Structure 1
Amino acid sequence: MVGSHLRDELTLTETQVVIPDDGVEDPLSFKQAMNDVDKDQWVKAMDLEMESMYFNSVWELVDLPEGVKSIGCKWIYKRKRGSAGKIQTFKARLVAKGCTQRERVDYKETFSPVAMLKSLRILLSIATFYDYEIWQMAVKTAFLNDNLEENIFMSQPEGFITQGQEQKVCKLNRSIYGLKQASRSWNIRFDTAIKSYGFDQNVDEPCVYKKINKRKVAFLVLYVDDILLIGNDVGYLTDVKAWLAAQFQMKDLGEAQYVLGIQIIRDRKNKTLALHGVHLSKEQCPKTPQEVEDMRRIPYASAVGSLMYAMLCTRPGICYAVGIVNRYQSNPGLDHWTTVKIILKYLRRTRDYMLVYGGKDLILTGYTDSDFQIDKDSRKSTSGSVFTLNGGAVVWRSIKQGCIADSTMEAEYVAACEAEKEAVWLN
């Protein structure tokens, strides 16, 4: 997130980045939380987190076995804010220090898939065309739902050390936030459960599931612990929600309004849905130690990261520009930073721009193009493509080509080839 001192010039749209107006920083440790102006709120938040731990029987206190090292844990604090920037809730999360885990001893596999944003946009476009229901749910403490296969011992959480048993440690029975295998364990647990209920997993998109019963259809999209339910029958979707609530601790968010920070604005009467949300080279990179030191005080990587998320979600128009500034994260110069600020100012001026679906046929249409050796450092060309469905863009891409094209025709063919691969996946 961009620093608050850049607030006036560098604000992204409200649905993507919210910069606090009060300048209050979240505590970084238990000690800071106890000295914070909102101490009472943090205590309540920690008590709520510990209640969840006890309810799920996440650990049991045992003596540390001889020759075994325990991993640490810490509290993470966050003031949750609404779209207007006002504090809504205080969140305290107990996380394990997974950085101290040892591979093949404390964990094995760690990979866990999430739904791609383009899959989300495609399903929203289809739902708009057929006037499907779009509901949202969230899994409470998702990572605590699966049992651990490995024997992992963790120190007792600060502020909640059991009196008379200070020397004991927590033997984890379930995954906990911060463990390297936590996300994978949760995904496997959910995948097994949802398939047992009759949902079929998409072959090319493992976090999208579908269930069909005669003329009733339901789609489920999973993004870590956020769930989007899309379907054509209210009763059918209600049954799915009831089943999910029986399997996991769920939070029903009703009709989807904000998904992954993207605001959904729907007009069912008109069958529309809206999602709100310079040439550079290495010559501009800092060359002297003083220039390097000056750039260290500028949140270049953080700003580019925010731009990247905005681009991936709802802003295809900045795809090319963000791709360019992203190339210089390792050693950016003031000219690169100036370009980043220009992109941010553009987003501020166009904050009301949205992706809108509706009013068109449900036909996938693709466009592709390429420049020719514009990159001054490598002389490689850049490919670009965009695909639309139901009147709105669902997939877009701008990427530097892997080879040096000898002609404009060759560059165009390379771009067309990459676009065709995307079209095959979409179909």
Structure 2
Amino acid sequence: MKSEIRSMYDNQVWNLVDTTPNLKTVGCKWIFKKKTDKDGKVHTYKARLVAKGYTQTQGIDYEETFSLVAKIKSAKIMLAIAVFHDYEIWQMDVKTAFLNGKLTRDVFMEQPEGFENENEDESCVYVKVSGSVVVFLVLYVDDILLIGNDIPMLQSVKDWLGRCFAMKDLGDAAYILGIKIYIHRTKRLIGLSQDAYLDKILKRFRMESSKKGNLPLHHGIKITKDLCSKTDDELEKMSRVLYASAIGSTMGAVTWKSSKQDTVADSTCEFEYIAACKASKESIWMKNFIRDIGVGPTVQDPIKIFCDNKSAVALTKETKDHEKSKYIERKYHFVRRKVEEGHAIVEDIRLEDNPADPFTKALAKFKYDEHAKSIRLKDKLEF
């Protein structure tokens, strides 16, 4: 707590002023957090002093505000590119990053209890190219990845950051955003693991002592509506189970998604067509991202999107609506437009060969293992 207060003094976060009867002040409170290393072991106990913003009124005390950060998939793509080109990957941490921001209006906050008497005066990926030398800077709040092919240039950027902010040099990147990084430079391979995160999720749902299984859900198990909550009491109890949070606690290697659709589809064809639309948006974003950073071969050919529904594949190639598709919302025809423009192509794939199949249903172990291998999931001991 003393370290946090000292950082606020060093960054000139506030000035002490006398209050007046008409002055509206905001209270404050302490938030405590344990920071863990790549193995999930606690190495730092943090204390953050925050204002009680929930006591303010939007439009009177504050306006809408946000700060950009790099997308998690952007960081993963950059790591893959770095390994492909055998770039250096360094990591830094900005000490008390939130204290470097500038307020555009005055906020009067009460002093924290016990310190009243002390009074002492984002989508954030940047590239620098100089001849054959390239350096990337990936920002996510206070975590920084420095990626490049020239150590003197990387050191120069690191020194400049150190002059501008209080920084902590973490050396070669090994753990960022809860992801442990394994790099095999000779083989040009990278592995990303979240075992500490998975252990945390198991503890959250009191499953750390549960028997290990080979499958997330065994093939053949039937879930019926009869198992759903019926009474108000059961519904209230189920609201605390956090089912959606538990299912949503797994993240992909670069980008993948499995979720309920936000609209009602009249057929399997429409369902798959909507999914193809969303996949096309994601793939084209990735194509443009890689093109814009200017490293590696630019993808000139259309992005291939595989779909296991022949009718949906045919629908992406239609030049006009017909009886079966005229009810589909216009926004989902994005994929059709991108196919017409030559940016994407949707191809048919057999259901049993579709690597995305495990995201929608329970499979037999041999088929589950086959699909897991096809999307490069493996035991970390195999790396």
Structure 1 length-normalised TM: 0.56
Check whether the contact 2:93–2:143 (CA below 8 A) recurs between aligned residues.
yes
SS of the aligned residue for 2:152 comes to: helix
* 2:13 alignment partner in structure 1: 58
SS in 1 for 2:256: strand
* Distance in 2, Cα, partners of 1:70 & 1:256: 42
Structure 1 position 107 matched with structure 2 position 24: no
Aligned to 1:305: 245
Q: 1:49 touches 1:94 (CA, 8 Å); kept in 2?
A: yes
Higher RCO (CA < 8 A, seq sep 6+): 1
- Percent identity of paired positions between Structure 1 and Structure 2: 51
**Cα distance, 1:118 vs. partner?**
1.4
Residues 206-355 of structure 1: matches in 2 within 5 Å? Answer: 206-277=123-194, 284-292=227-235, 294-295=237-238, 300-301=241-242, 304-305=244-245, 307-309=247-249, 311-314=250-253
Q: Deviations over 1:368-408 (max 9, x none)?
A: xxxxxxxxxxxxxxxxxxxxxxxxxx322224445544444
The question of 1:422 aligning with 2:282 is answered: yes
Alpha-carbon separation, structure 1, partners of 2:71 and 2:63: 25
Which string of whole-angstrom CA distances, capped at 9 and with x for unpartnered residues, describes residues 111-145 of structure 1? 22222121111111111110111111111111111
Distance 1:405 1:288, change over 3 A: closer
1:279 and 1:137 map into 2 onto residues whose CA distance is 49
1:361-400 aligned within 5 A: 394-400=254-260
Question: Take 1:58 and 1:212, find their aligned partners in 2: how far apart are those partners?
Answer: 35
Amino acid of the structure 1 residue aligned with 2:86: D
**Residues of 2 paired with 1:114 and 1:151: CA distance?**
25
Asked if the contact 2:37/2:175 (under 8 Å) is kept, the reply is: no
| In the alignment, structure 1 residue 144 sits paired with structure 2 residue 99 | yes
Shift of 1:417: 2.7
Asked if 1:68 is matched to 2:23, the reply is yes
Q: Does 1:412 align with 2:282?
A: no
Q: Distance between the aligned counterparts of 1:417 and 1:307, measured in 2?
A: 23
Q: How big is the shift at 1:225? A: 1.2
Deviations 1:271-314 (A, max 9, x none): 11100126757654322244245446x5x32x7536534x2254
Letter in 1 for 2:170: L
Unaligned runs of 5+ in 2: 195-220, 288-383
Show CA shifts across 1:201-254 (max 9, x none): xxxxx3111111111111111111111111111111111111111111111111
Distance 1:224 1:266 in 2: 24
Matched residue, 1:362? none
Structure with greater proportional strand content? 1
Q: Does the 8 Å CA contact 2:38/2:175 hold for their aligned counterparts?
A: no
CA contact (8 A) 2:127 2:136 kept: yes
Q: Which amino acid aligns with 1:91?
A: K
Q: Tell me the amino acid that sits aligned with residue 156 of structure 2.
A: D
8 Å CA contact retained: 1:74, 1:94: yes
Secondary structure (helix, strand or coil) at the match of 1:161 reads coil
- Partners of 2:246 and 2:234 in 1: CA distance: 24
Runs of at least 5 residues in structure 1 that lack an aligned partner in the other structure: 1-45, 174-186, 188-205, 315-393
Sort the Cα spacing of 1:221 and 1:108 in 2 relative to 1 into closer, same or farther, 3 A.
same
1:403 to 1:252, Cα distance in 2 relative to 1, 3 A:
same
Corresponding position of 2:77: 122
RMSD after superposition: 2.7
Change in CA separation of 1:308 and 1:103 when aligned onto 2, cut-off 3 Å: same
In the alignment, is the contact (CA less than 8 A) between 1:117 and 1:313 conserved in 2?
no
Aligned length: 261
Tell me if the contact between 1:117 and 1:312 (Cα under 8 Å) persists in the aligned partners: no
* 2:111 corresponding residue in structure 1: 156
Deviation at 1:87, TM superposition (A): 3.6
Does the C-alpha gap of structure 1 residues 412 and 156 become closer, same or farther in structure 2, counting only changes over 3 Å? closer
